[in-house]
Structure 1
Amino acid sequence: MALPLVGLFFFRLYENQLIRQTEGELIAQGAVVAAVYADAVRTAGIAPEQLGAPISADPSRDNNYPYEPIEPQLDLASDSVLPSRPAALPAAADPAFAAIGARLDPILDETQKTTLAGFRLLDPHGVVIAGGGEVGQTLAAVEEVRTALTGAYASALRLRIPDQPTPPLYSVSRGTKVRVFVALPIEIDGRVAGVVYLSRTPNNIVKHLYGERGKVTLAAIAIVGGTLLIGLVFIRTVSRPIYALIERTKRIAAGDREAIRPLAHHGTREMAELSAAFLDMATKLQARSDSIQTFATHVSHELKSPLTAIQGAAELLRDSGGAMDEAERRRFSNNIVTDAGRLNLLVRRLLDLARAENLAPSGESTTLNAALTLLPIDTRLELQKEAGGDIGLGISAENLGIVLANLIDNSARHGARLVTVGAAGAGDRVAIHVGDDGDGISAANRAKIFEPFFTTRRETGGTGMGLGIVLALLKAHDGTIRLVDSERGTRFEINLPALI
């Protein structure tokens, strides 16, 4: 977006440079004409009183006599463009100066044929004595001439009078509509002896660029080539990976598991990060979907067994009529009550698991000792506290109590008589160890204990969801749990954030 503005700025800067160049050329030509004219005045022996106004010393000028350079000072951006030059007015020239002008007029005409500049040679009173068809008329009313008659250099930008229509392409250039005017005073013995008044239309930027069309064409080819190269790089590094990722999302949405893999080309580092984040999300969603499918299968199986038993017992009671004795009727009725109780327990445990998986950290904290005080007294075993009971933990006492209660209940149901609980801090994490002296876990079952509905005591009412609830609660608090080796019984290690 900034490139056109920058280009316009340099366009105007270059156009202004052409104005300055034209002014410098006119100053150089005027200086030569002024030197020739001054020599002619001295040779003619014109008296000082016939000259113009005295020139006062300028304290701002550098004291580097006899060198007195005049620098171009026009600025297309800041100087106002004056109207076209006013017409000359009738006047009478001093015969002595008119004779000098008549001798120099052919020289000015020949010079104009080469430089294309307009020359007007003025006497000390502003009357034209040589150059063009205005000889014998005065230009003293022109602003820059009036300044030069006081002995000061003057220049101006004026609207030019075109001799033919300006081509449409030239309308982009402001410099095509102006003409540079330079009024150079001629000094003899500290007085104004005349003025060299020059003008010329500056070189047009479009015309100048046309003159350099070979270089401009090469530059245009380079720009187009660079643009195409940037486009190809953009397509390969940005567009192509984006389209590949879009195609990959469609395949994943259609259930294609083979599509969950990195792209062949990422192009940019940001695209690689985006692709990695997307594939990680897809992997997690796929794992979540598989988990939900497996969970639904387990739930349907766990609910189907007691429902089938209840339905079978109810049908037997219904169809037996009076043929079934009281003992059998009571046995089937007890089966219905037992299976209904199991269904009720399964539903409650499912609700507990759902709450644990969707639990948001409350920001509360506790200690191991505070959580143990919330546990009900279990007469089936002895609880032994070890070191670290006062270490701060990033979990509420209620939730930590639920975790410990499930682990202790599992120990009691597997023959344990003693449970030991302790904690040890390590930086910003705390390790809690819960061990027992029970039957332990067989090597074949060690990898399955955290799977939902896995249990080895289904006949005694086990649902296999206790450790799933423990794992979900700990994940909600940035914690973990793992089974560690133990010489006897079972030993779990819980890792939680420390309270800092």
Structure 2
Amino acid sequence: MELTPETCRIVIDALNQTSEALFITDVGGTIVYANPGFERLTGYTLQETLGKNAGILKSGEHSDEFYADMWGTIKTGREWTGRFINRRKDGTKGIDETHISPIRNVKGDLSYFLAIRRDITREAALEEQLIQNQKMEALGLLAGQLSHDFNNLLTIIIGSMELVMEEIPKESTSMKLAQGILKTSQESANLIKQLLIFSRRQEAEPSLVNLNDIITETKVLMDRLLGVNIKMEYGLAPDLVKVSMTPEQFKQVLMNLVINAKDAMPSGGVIKVRTFNQSISKGLSPSMKAGDYASVEVSDTGPGIPPEARERIFEPFFTTKPKGKGTGLGLSTVYGIIKQHKGDIVVESNPGMGAAFTIRLPKAD
């Protein structure tokens, strides 16, 4: 069909004004056209992209097999839809929903490819967080049921052992064995207690508190705990809003995060505790309501957390520490306490750049 100049102008105007990023490459991947939406998405102007290979957008996040599958599909004349993690001009990375369609000339030969891209970085992050929340909720239910059953059994064991010990001579070998059994049972009960916190089945008694006050109270204890090769820094917001929180449990949260940071830096480093007010808008997080929050960030200068470990960091019994060096319940306990108080916790980390755990607790009514 022959297009009139007016129709061509309308088509060009539509391509230039659409919010989606559109670009056309030849069969070798060289960019021959890009609309203004492409510049808004990537940061690259038309002049910077014409004649360049679309590979300038590669982030290094995809395998060779990923690209082989994509090229293998479109070079046979079929359409391809998928998600790319692309690098922007400023070096940041974003997730783009992409649809690529083959373009044939009048002879029917494959000549070009049209790619339409939409930035879904924010939606993908919310989707991942929702999946993680559902996963943690399922783990919490399982942990709660198992902990409840084991706790009942341990209560019987501890009670029975205490009665038995009243009948055993104090200096006998039997007494030493009994004391060992009792100690082990009590340690097991403590692990169960932490699992119950993770599953949010242990009752909390919150009160109206300023988190800055609790942090200040624990400063001396933390300094003694960390030793001389770890430096503590604080940045506490003077106008931090009050929250409804169980003080002792927040101390446990803080100590667990600080100890976790310390363990990540055996050669020493800096741990910073920072507080600030934060307003959460609707849709920022699927697990949080819109409103005002008191936020606490605990960051370190350690080696960071690998992506595969970051995804599981709050799971009970998951640990990156050597065998025998940790139970894997520290961060899951933190997660359970914060969720019990209707808050949220997130972790940000890149290998070699340390880690930052941020707690958000809703402002008290």
TM-score category of the 2 structures, normalised to the smaller one: 0.3 to 0.5
Higher Cα radius of gyration: 1
Structure with more strand by fraction: 2
Q: Scaled by the length of structure 2, what TM-score is found?
A: 0.42
